Amino acid sequence: MAASEYFRYFVIAGLFNTLLFALFFLKRSRKNVASFYLLVFMLLMSFQALLNAFDTRAFFVAYPHLSRISWLLPSLFGPLVYLIVRKMTRPSEGLRGSDSFHFLPFVGYVALLSPWFFQAAASKVAQLRNFELHSLEDFGYLNQLSILLILAYCLLAMGELASHKRRLEGHFSEIEGVRLRWLQQFMYALIGILAISVLGFYGRKWGIPHLTNIYHYNYALVVLLLYWIAYKWATYRGLAIELPEEVPKRAPRVSKYARSGLNETTMDAIFGNLERLMIEEKPFLRGNLTLHELADRLEVKRHHLSQVINEKTGQRFYDYINAYRVRELKGRISDPGFANRSYLGLALDCGFNSKATFNAAFKKHTGKTPSAYHHLKKKEV
């Protein structure tokens, strides 16, 4: 059996499993806007893969009304990816009228392609019989525009993820378990597949050897990605608290807390109580400490405590807590009583939940990697 036949069976299986996923989605109780957009994206991507797998003269002559559908669907991919990420990171936002703005490119594509879509089947078949000439039109300006559109929306989605990470750092002392890293991995994979698609697209357009062969088969990666994202979505449970919106960076600093009602004296009192609590009780040793829990301990409002930390230290909650953890760790490293303990073991005792978080925080707050710091300490001895 030819490789193209295996590829077609694989794509058909992918579409079949996507339909099963759709039924699973419709039956489960936990439905939200993000999962709806994800479902639509998966179905359209699976159908696009199917059209590319059967991109032959015989197929489109038999089903002429399916021709050029593959030109139209990419105008939806970028907006859907962006909306999936946005609704995942802002679950309270729900379905908004402004979401429809992102589907304007699709409306434009429909308008441009409508002369073809409304042709009679016989007229389409007459043109499709010259399949080589018709195939060259696949590499025209519209499909090149689709590449730019998808890339632009992928970059917007990455911006949403970066914004989400900053909001998490304002409320959690350990963010690895809640930062939607799998969604970031999905975006990296999607951008990687897009890069491969671009190589295949222009390789086919310009007749570049070897690159022409990946034009259709890159959709095998798409099907694998759809399996992966379906699994990740099915196992995702969401955050226990709703994160507030992030203030745009361009806004004046004073406007962020203009309506908080805290004066300097009150802020000083809260910060003094916070510092005493951190020094005397060391709540930062708990790896899953949150802003909400610390605010309850101090009997202050969560957004007031966030304001105090931001204004008094210039740090988000995440960095403020990790600075104490690093300070505690440095103290234990210098203590002979802990001489037989590894840096990682001590880091876990000090509240860090992973080696990656520990390494990043240590480098950020000391300017050195843990190994470089260890080497320096050995020299001092």
pLDDT tens per residue, range 260-299: 568 899 999 999 999 999 999 999 999 889 999 999 999 9
pLDDT at res. 312: 93
Classify domain 262-380 at the CATH topology level. Arc Repressor Mutant, subunit A (1.10.10)
Following CA atoms 254, 255, 261, 263 in sequence, which dihedral angle do they give, to the nearest 10 degrees? 0
pLDDT at res. 380: 64
- For residues 351-369, give the mean pLDDT: 89
Q: What pTM was estimated for this model as a whole?
A: 0.82
pLDDT at res. 304: 92
pLDDT tens per residue, range 303-316: 999 999 999 999 99
Report d(CA 237, CA 260) in Å as an integer.
32
pLDDT tens per residue, range 85-133: 999 888 888 888 999 999 999 999 999 999 999 999 999 988 888 767 7
Quick one: three-class SS letters along the chain? Answer: CCHHHHHHHHHHHHHHHHHHHHHHHHHCCCCCHHHHHHHHHHHHHHHHHHHHHCCCHHHHHHCHHHCCHHHHCHHHHHHHHHHHHHHHHCCCCCCCHHHHHHHHHHHHHHHHHHHHHCCCHHHHHHHHCCHHHHHHHHHCHHHHHHHHHHHHHHHHHHHHHHHHHHHHHCCECCCCCCCCHHHHHHHHHHHHHHHHHHHHHHHHHHCCCCHHHHHHHHHHHHHHHHHHHHHHHHHCCCCCCCCCCCCCCCCCHHHHHCCCCCCHHHHHHHHHHHHHHHHHCCHHHCCCCEHHHHHHHHCCCHHHHHHHHHHHHCCCHHHHHHHHHHHHHHHHHCCHHHCCCCHHHHHHHCCCCCHHHHHHHHHHHHCCCHHHHHHHHHHHC
- For residues 337-362, give the mean pLDDT: 88
pLDDT tens per residue, range 222-250: 888 888 887 787 777 665 555 666 544 44
- For residues 337-343, give the mean pLDDT: 83
What's the chain's length in residues?
A: 381
pLDDT at res. 254: 47
Domains of the chain by residue range: 3-235, 262-380
pLDDT tens per residue, range 151-180: 999 999 999 999 999 988 998 888 876 767
pLDDT at res. 244: 64
- For residues 325-354, give the mean pLDDT: 88
pLDDT at res. 299: 93
State percent of the chain over pLDDT 70: 82
pLDDT at res. 248: 45
pLDDT at res. 50: 84
Of 48-52, 96-100, 242-246, 251-255, the range with the lowest mean pLDDT is: 251-255
pLDDT tens per residue, range 54-87: 877 888 889 999 999 999 999 999 999 999 999 9
pLDDT at res. 148: 96
Torsion angles phi and psi, residue 31, rounded to 5: -115, 140
> Does the pLDDT value for residue 352 go beyond 80?
yes
| Dmax (CA) of the chain | 88
